[in-house]
Amino acid sequence: MRTSVATERLTITTAKWKTNDFRVVGSSSATSGTVSVYTAVTVAGKLVPAAAPIAGMANQPLTAAAPPATGTEFDVRLRANVPNPKPAQIFVKSSNGGIAGPFAVANG
């Protein structure tokens, strides 16, 4: 799922969870910055990002995409302190203002 913001296109391509391994992968149209992964919570009947990012998944760097692709990519992974139970859905927020989600987390 992709949500567009005027200055950035942020995309989540995969989110997989299993015991001791939680990985979120995606891309951004920005040339630099960071991303943080949030659990989706329901507020007033609407899914929104939780108030704080998932511990260990905040301020992760965007890295340049391999040519011929443009923009940047992110690969955020936890192998310790993995949230349990598995989050049903997540959001990713960028330091550039982009937000992607909600995105369903698969068993990995």
| Inter-residue contact 26 to 93 (CB < 8 Å) | no
Q: What is the pTM of this model?
A: 0.91
* Token output for 40: 């989706």
pLDDT of the chain, 108 residues: tens digit per residue: 555 445 789 999 999 999 899 999 999 999 999 999 999 999 999 999 999 999 999 999 999 998 888 899 999 999 999 998 999 999 999 999 999 999 999 998
pLDDT at 5: 42
Which residue has 């955020």 as its token pair? 76
User: What is the C-alpha to C-alpha distance for residues 88 and 70, in angstroms, rounded to an integer?
Assistant: 30
Which domains are assigned to the chain? 2-107 (2.60.40)
pLDDT at 4: 46
The whole-angstrom distance between residue 39's C-alpha and the CA centroid of its chain comes to: 9
Q: Is the bond preceding residue 61 a cis peptide, omega within 30 degrees?
A: no
